[in-house]
A and B are shown apart, each in its own frame.
Chain A
């Protein structure tokens, strides 16, 4: 059994992708806090420490920190370890740039709090062209 629901939002970087949600009400710098080759979060004490971002739908508050975020996403994309899509509460110019260059869809301004409505492990379709997120959860 599974349940499915849809949330409206604002497509920031166009495109459509799906993956398994990785959710943390936190910020993240890709340079310095993500290893591009393994795709894993290496930041000590971060709620996602040790998690792989490969193909995930990354639900975080925003990116932060280093200007190396696009560069790290470039390397991760080439290595196949980048997230499939971003759902962010706020849009950092560096995540936006990295997503544009690497054709990773990003959506923001969800009609519900993403940290309350989406759980790690949910299957999520991010359709930034239509401005919707479709969440499917096993139950």
Chain B
């Protein structure tokens, strides 16, 4: 990679050892990924999370060294002109009686979050920053973590970001730079496989099923969806999350929807292949069945809001719960950003949900907190996929209405 004299000087320590390390991360990463230069970043979504249950059972020294790394990052300012938002991920900062939300780590996260805010980060604390104000425009160069949000930014908004991790997102935020590789370049945004959709997709979770199947086929490639209608925001969110669960997808094209893909030809830069996969109603049914293996129908957890729920989704959930009661001992979690929760409080949705026995969980999700559960019903393919291993629970992935019916009954009641 060729650096400017100023970038070279930072690499050699002109702005101190930490920024030199940040520059080294970006330069080495760029070299590995085939970048030829660093380019200016307009927008970042960074991860500065204390590990909490991700490091359950770890040595004290591991936690301390890891958290000291976060503090070091926060002693520097975000780059001028760069819109930087922040996620924390593994704890909720709300007062909540839950032993998995380790009070000591919550305290450390509060300290880090305050330092980060002082450093210039906007504390959105969400896996879906595009729902709470970080909405990049077409062509905007971003450095985003959160694999589902990366796919959404590239595919739905037409912004440009590679798949960032914690260190690269911090470095990009502080230096205002990212290595130019992958989907930051026009030629690398060309579709790599065609998915024809023949199924009737009638809910956001159906779109998650499509993403779950297509992501596995796509690997690190760029799937192009042909023959689908325009998804709602919630449907697009599920599609993007599932693509980056079974696969390592950075972006997809929905022909006629993705800003740079008004047609199938445009998605493939003119070179349209035969379909690699046709997603039928049978494929849809099999996708659901793949995340429904269970030994019984009684349930103890219902998880909604993966990725974090929008205000519209919370309104829909409130409408389904109004005047009803969640069955004991089911815990109904609705995960969202605290910005969205603030809206839900003001609009009265929170009260309806809490009166019904549900709980709105900010900053994190039950799987990241590793709240024990035996059998979970969830509307998110991503949550269902990971909860099995992370929580050790059986899962049933289902559409929102079926999730709510299960929550009210205390048992899986089927799809209809």
List 15 A–B pairs whose Cβ atoms lie within 8 Å, in order of A's numbering. Answer: A13-B28, A13-B32, A32-B385, A36-B55, A64-B215, A64-B219, A64-B220, A65-B244, A67-B147, A68-B89, A70-B166, A70-B168, A74-B167, A78-B66, A92-B248
State the B residues within 8 Å of A (CB).
25, 28-29, 32-33, 47, 49, 51, 54-59, 61-62, 65-66, 69, 89, 145-147, 150, 162-168, 181-182, 215, 219-220, 244-248, 250, 367, 385-386, 388-390
* A134 interface residue (CB < 8 Å to B): no
Residues A61 and B386 in contact, CB atoms below 8 Å apart? no
Bound complex: CA A12 to CA B219 (Å): 19
Closest A residue to B245 using CB positions: A65
Among residues 20 to 67 in chain A, which have CB atoms less than 8 Å away from a CB atom of chain B?
27, 29, 31-33, 36-38, 42-44, 49, 61-67
Considering the chains assembled together, what is the distance between the CA atoms of A96 and B27 in angstroms? 12
Task: Assess whether A111 is interfacial by the CB under 8 Å rule.
Answer: no
Closest A residue to B51 using CB positions: A75
Asked if B388 contacts A75 (CB within 8 A), the reply is no
- CB of B57 to closest CB in A, whole Å: 5
Residue pair B220, A100 in contact (C-beta under 8 Å): no
- A interface residues, how many (CB within 8 angstroms): 40
Q: Is there contact, CB below 8 Å, between B386 and A33?
A: yes
Residues of A within 8 A of B57 (CB): 37-38
B21 to chain A, nearest CB (A): 9
> Which residues of chain A are near B61, meaning CB under 8 Å?
78
**Residues 76-121 of A at the B interface (beta carbon under 8 Å):** 78-79, 90-94, 96-98, 100-101
CA distance A42 to B54 in the complex (A): 12
Indicate if the CB atoms of A70 and B165 lie closer than 8 Å. Answer: yes
Q: Within 8 Å CB of B150, what residues of A?
A: 67
Residues of chain A lying within 8 A (CB to CB) of residue B165: 67-71, 93-94, 97-98
8 additional A-B residue pairs with CB within 8 Å, beyond A32-B390, A64-B244: A32-B389, A33-B386, A37-B58, A67-B164, A78-B65, A79-B62, A96-B32, A96-B33
Q: Complex: how many Å from CA A65 to CA B61? A: 28
CA distance A137 to B251 in the complex (A): 41
Q: Is the CB of B245 within 8 A of A78?
A: no
CB within 8 Å for A67 and B163 given contacts A37-B56, A44-B388: yes
B333 to chain A, nearest CB (A): 17
Query: How distant is the Cα of A74 from the Cα of B170 in the complex, in angstroms?
Result: 14
Known: A13-B32, A64-B247. A33 touches B389 (CB 8 A): yes
A6: shortest Cβ distance to chain B, in Å? 23
Whether the pair A79, B244 counts as a contact (CB closer than 8 A) is no
Of listed A29, A68, A97, residue having the most chain B CB within 10 A = A97
Within 8 Å CB of B220, what residues of A? Answer: 62, 64, 90, 92
A65→B218 CA distance, assembly (Å):
12
Chain B residues in 8 Å Cβ range of A68: 47, 54, 89, 165-166
B54-A36 in contact (CB<8A): yes
Bound-state Cα–Cα, A63 to B49, Å: 21
> Do the beta carbons of A66 and B244 come within 8 Å of each other?
yes
Is B47 a contact partner of A67 (Cβ separation < 8 A)?
A: yes
**Judging by beta carbons under 8 Å apart, are A101 and B32 in contact?**
no
